[in-house]
Every structure is written in C-alpha cells, then in structure tokens.
Amino acid sequence: MTSRVLITEQLAPRGLDALRAAGFEVDDRLGLSPEELREAVVGAAALVIRSATQVDADVLEAGRDLVVVGRAGIGLDNVDVDAATKRGVMVVNAPQSNVLSAAEHTVALVLAQARNIPKADADLRSGSWNRTRWEGVELHGKTLGIIGLGRVGVLVAQRALAFGMKLLAYDPYVSAERARQLGIGLVGDLEELVREADFLTLHIPKTADTVGLIGRELLAHAKPTLRIVNTSRGGIVDEAALADAVREGRIAGAALDVFATEPTTESPLFDLDSVVVTPHLGASTVEAQDKAGVTIAEQVVLALRGEFVPYAVNVAATEANATVQPFLPLAERLGRLFTALAGGSVETLEVSYEGEIADYDCRVLTLSVLKGALSAVTDEPVSFVNAPQLADARGITVRESTSSAALDYVNLVTLRGRAGDRDVHVAGTLFGKLARPRIVGINDHVVDLPPSSHMLVVRNSDTPGMIGKVGSILGDAGVNIADMDVGKNPEGEAALMALSTYSAVPDAVVNQLRATDGVLDAHALELD
C-alpha cells in the first residue's frame, strides 16, 4: 500500500514532484480548519506544513499512523514537538532554507530606510518630484550594531562589510575570538551598542527575556542618527516606544518586517514617514520557498524509508536507550540553567556522567544539554542534530567524561565551564521510583530542589536573617515561592539560596535584592 503524505499548505512544486517521484501519494489539501485537519490526518504517514497549520496533541492523536511531521521552514512554534516525541513521531524542518533570504531582506530594509526609497517611490507615482525631501544617508563609514550573531546575523555582517560599515555586535554567548575572525567588535552590553550604532539590526530568538527588549529604557541611550531594523521576531521591539522615539526625533527611523501581532494592518509605526514596513517577507523569496520545499520533501522521504534524517529535530530522543531516555529532560533543563547562570560565552563546556548511566552511551544526553544551553541564545531552533554545529560556530568546545562512581548519588549529571572570570557549575539527578528530576548542585553549592520554569539564585553572606530578607522582598512584590533550598559550599557554609517561584521574578525585584545588605548577587532564571 502506498504511503500517503498530507500537505496542508502551499509547497514548492519541486518538493511535491520529489514526493511523487519517490512513490508516495501526495494529498494536497490546503486551507483546512482544525476539525478538517484532524479528519484528513487519519491514515496519513506524513504531514507537511508551513507556519499556519497548528499540529497539537489532538492532531497527533488523530494521526495514529504518522511517522513524520515536516515543517517547510525553520520555526517550530506551531508543532508540539514534545507530544510528537512521546508518540514516536519524528519532527523535521528545513533550518537553512531561508537564512540567505532573511539576511538579504535585512540589508534591503537597511538600504530602503537609509535612502527613503518607499516614500520617494510613492511620491513620484503620485505626481511629486521631491529630491530634497527624501535626502538619505550613506552606509559607508556608519556603525552597524548587530544583536545576535547566529547564522543570519553573521550573513548580514558579511554583507555590511562590503558597504564599508564598521561592525559592532552584542552577543554574550559568542567568544571574542570568533567575533575577531568575523571582523566584528564585541561590546559588553546593549546600552553601549545602542550608544555607538547608526544602524541596529536584530537577530535573536523571542523569549521571555527578549520580549520588549528594544523599549523606552534602551532607546533612551540612542543617538539621534540611529535607525533600527528588525527581521527576527515580532514583539522584541516595543512598537509604541519605537514610534514615540521616531516621532519625537530621538532616533532617525526604523524598518520592520515582523510585528507583535500578525497579520496586522494597524501599528503606530505605519503613519511615520521615516519608518519602512513589510509584511513578514524575510523568507518570501522563490529560492527560499523552493529550498524549503525540496529540503522537507527529502527529509520526509528519508523518514518514511527508515533512513538517516539529517534535519530531524527529535530523532535522538526517540532512539535513546531506555535507561538513558528518562535523563533527557533533566539534561536539557541543566543546559538552560547553565546558560542562564553563565550569562555569557564559555569556551569549554565539560559534561560528566557518574553512576549507572556511565555504563551506557550518553552522547544523546550531551546533545540534550547543548539543546538546552543554546536554545535561548540563537535565532534558529536548536535540535539534537544541529546543536554540535551551533556550539562549534560559537567557539564552544564540548568535553564529555564518564565515571561509574557517583559518591552520594546513584546517577549524577554535571556541567562545568568558565564565563569570564567565573566558574559555572550545575548538577542534577533523578530521584525516587518516579524518577523525578532534581537540581543538586549550583556553583559548587549543594542544593536539592526540582527544576521549574521560574527560578531565582541568590548568593549571600553567611549571616543570620538572610532568608527572611529575601523572602520578605519577594513577598512584598507578590512573588510566591514554590520551593527553596539553602546551599552549602565545600566548606560547609550556607551562602547560596536556590528558589523556584510560581511566576517570573521582575528585574526591579532582582535589582532590589542585589542592593540588599548581605546579598552578593542575584539571578532570575527562566528555564522554559
């Protein structure tokens, strides 16, 4: 019987032809409602989508015969990867299909903004010849500030060099040596980058930490020649704050391809002459769509034939040894925790496995660690497949070690590295018959609490009353503590508090904690 591949969004003809040539039945059904999708997916071996189709747990439940879900593009926000993994359904994407198009669109917006091309075009078409009104600026000699040196950020940098621009970047997870190789100067913080930049372009993921990143406070550091370009994710730029800054002449202009709400035809930016906008066209080129269609077709064919799939997002999770597999979520959470605590680039990440799991192949756990460690710092989805390449691109050397002895634990996973002049350490294990994950070490202090979405780590002097001070500050701010442990360092001193909270700890509360007598440092951590 021929396997059926359900296509729910427009796919490049070459992709459809490749599926048919491989001998599969192509069921091309566009514009399905959620109810129609659940009906259509019954009996399908593969489901191919783009960005509009929502593949949730209900769709996966209905598609009991699904072997693979293919996303013809990069993002996976519309696919419940965890639910797919639990059902043994492979998820694949086309991670390199649109990076060139996105970089070129960024450069196009920089040029369009600098030379007022859209407004000049509109004026001339309406019968007005306004050479002086739309006078622009050259790119040569100007400073381009780049937030995020992932694949797209690097491609933009390379193209900007051809215009003779000076390149500065903020990416605390890229080593200085890697930036030097690219001809880019690294700055220590966003405020410095905004102060120096004539053009500022964003290439970062949308996370709890980056939503509203370009807001009133940051824009206050800008010089009046600054022009901001965003082709990464909507919501990273506070559109109202940006509109006010442009309207009041505090910055020169902006160009946006993405918005907090999409699709949209309303924004305070749309009425401003010095703002250029496009309707999320970063990946909308013939070449990008063709590459995405062909790539995803190739991945689906390989998956249905049972062969190696290079762009599988979750294949390692579905194939992990039964003893090792329960540690995968813990490993990913430890990776996220490590990055949050490091707060910057590390040259070497040492991952050690101690106890019974050391007798098994733990490489998949290291991939899970990298997946967690990199997911919040790169502008593309991180998978078990591409994690090593992304780590290498950021100059991170990964070392793995094993030992059958785990001292105080049956099994222990430990991460170590050095960020600047600080050593960073986290450790975790699984506890009890239900194998519940526990964090048991933070920066060489012994702790014991479950990982959670929202965490707070406070380093303090070993003096009475510190727990009360921290608890009072959180309570006054309405932050409810879910769990807490006081950590001891090797000398036995209680000098670290690790807390799980029911909600995110606001920056203002973290700053209040840091200003409290006896508190040496405080970090709010978001692990999801």
pLDDT in tens, 81-126: 889 888 878 999 998 888 999 999 999 999 999 999 999 999 999 9
Listed in sequence order, the residues at least 6 apart from 321 whose beta carbon sits closer than 8 Å to its beta carbon are 360, 361, 364
From the list 244, 237, 241, the residue with the least C-alpha distance to 259 is: 237
Is 221 among the residues known to form the active site?
A: no
Here the CATH number for the domain that contains residue 146 is: 3.40.50.720
Any domain includes 128 = yes
Residue 393 pLDDT grade (very low, low, confident, very high; cuts 50, 70, 90): confident
Any domain includes 86 = yes
Any domain includes 201 = yes
Residue 493 pLDDT grade (very low, low, confident, very high; cuts 50, 70, 90): low
Residue 382 pLDDT grade (very low, low, confident, very high; cuts 50, 70, 90): confident
pLDDT digits (tens, 9 = 90+) for 200-246: 999 998 888 899 999 999 999 999 999 999 999 999 999 999 999 99
Is 445 among the residues known to form the active site?
A: no
Helix axes 13-21, 286-304, angle to 10 degrees: 20
Note whether 84 and 233 are same-domain residues: no
Note whether 154 and 291 are same-domain residues: no
Rounded to a whole number, what is the distance in angstroms from the first to the last CA of the chain? 42
Note whether 53 and 121 are same-domain residues: no
Strand partners, 524: 456
Note whether 253 and 300 are same-domain residues: no
Q: State which residues form the domain around 245.
A: 99-277
pLDDT at 315 over 80: no
pLDDT score for 487 = 82
Any domain includes 282 = no
Average pLDDT over residues 331-347: 89
Note whether 17 and 129 are same-domain residues: no
**Separation between Cα atoms, residue 121 and residue 135, nearest integer Å:** 13
Return the structure tokens found at 288: 């990008």
Report pTM. Answer: 0.77
Indicate the average pLDDT of the chain: 90
Note whether 303 and 335 are same-domain residues: no
From the list 36, 39, 262, 356, the catalytic residue is: 262
pLDDT at 318 over 60: no
Higher per-residue pLDDT: 462 or 161: 161
Any domain includes 380 = yes
The secondary structure of residue 479, as a DSSP letter, is P
Tell me which of 133-142, 165-174, 301-310, 421-430 is least confident: 301-310
**Separation between Cα atoms, residue 449 and residue 440, nearest integer Å:** 7
pLDDT score for 107 = 98
From the list 50, 233, 394, 438, the catalytic residue is: 233
pLDDT digits (tens, 9 = 90+) for 131-167: 999 999 999 999 999 999 988 999 999 999 999 999 9
**Locus of tokens 């918005």:** 259
Is 36 among the residues known to form the active site?
A: no
From the list 47, 52, 51, the residue with the least C-alpha distance to 87 is: 47
Report the share of the chain in percent with pLDDT over 90: 62
Alpha helices in 203-283 (DSSP H): 216-219, 239-247
Note whether 35 and 118 are same-domain residues: no
Helix (H) or strand (E) holding 119: helix 117-125
Note whether 254 and 340 are same-domain residues: no
pLDDT at 75 over 90: no
Domain C-terminal end among 265, 300, 319: 319
Helix (H) or strand (E) holding 419: strand 411-419
Note whether 156 and 263 are same-domain residues: yes
Note whether 365 and 406 are same-domain residues: yes
Here the CATH number for the domain that contains residue 388 is: 3.30.1330.90
Any domain includes 105 = yes
From the list 38, 115, 159, 280, the catalytic residue is: 280
**Separation between Cα atoms, residue 203 and residue 233, nearest integer Å:** 8
Any domain includes 40 = yes
Note whether 241 and 298 are same-domain residues: no
Note whether 146 and 30 are same-domain residues: no
Count of domains observed in the chain: 3
Domain C-terminal end among 217, 245, 277: 277
Tell me which of 3-7, 39-43, 269-273, 452-456 is least confident: 452-456
Higher per-residue pLDDT: 344 or 320: 344
pLDDT at 19 over 90: yes
